[in-house]
Amino acid sequence: MTEIGIALPQPWEGINGTARDSDDLLSLEEEAMPRRRRMVMMALLLRKATLVGNQAPVVRSMYERMSDPQPGDLVVETTTSWRPDGGYRGFGILLGHRREWCTKDEAWAAYLAENPDDDERLADHYWYIQYGPGERDISRWEDCRFIAVPDDPSAF
């Protein structure tokens, strides 16, 4: 799918993590992994609990909030988080999500130099998650689904 005449961001452009030394929420230490897995499982089960017919208003509100993660939210990726390794890169702080080029301009130019007849530059929707405490502990996701982990009971 070519994005003709549209200026899209470069991969990773403007995506910055934050050092999170003041808390251990995103600790990657081995002793933190069981806690992380429990948090992921609780979020997945809470999401599953909202998938009922004739939702009560509070359940509907929770479902809508979890379905619409915003930058800064604690999130869980729902298609890989069940893995035995805990899918630790799919649990973290949402830095942003957007439509962007699949490859950087330099890589695209090099490709075009070798394939001048192929002008089908691809773009897709990408999610950026800070999964660890370091500002560079960031993963880039595509073809995925995230849910927000509710953290403000007054929102419901």
- For the residues 133-144, what does the mean pLDDT come to? 95
Asked whether residue 74 is assigned to any structural domain, the reply reads yes
> What confidence category does residue 85 fall into, taking pLDDT thresholds of 50, 70 and 90?
low
DSSP letters, 18-33, are ---TT--TT--SGGGH
Is residue 37 included in any domain, yes or no?
yes
84 lies in a domain? yes
- Domain coverage including residue 34: 30-97+126-151
Q: What is the number of structural domains in the chain?
A: 1
For the stretch 92-106, pLDDT in tens is 999 999 999 999 999
What pLDDT is attached to residue 88?
A: 79
pLDDT in tens, 25-57: 999 999 999 999 899 999 999 999 999 999 999
User: What average pLDDT does the segment 124-150 reach?
Assistant: 95
132 domain residue, yes or no: yes
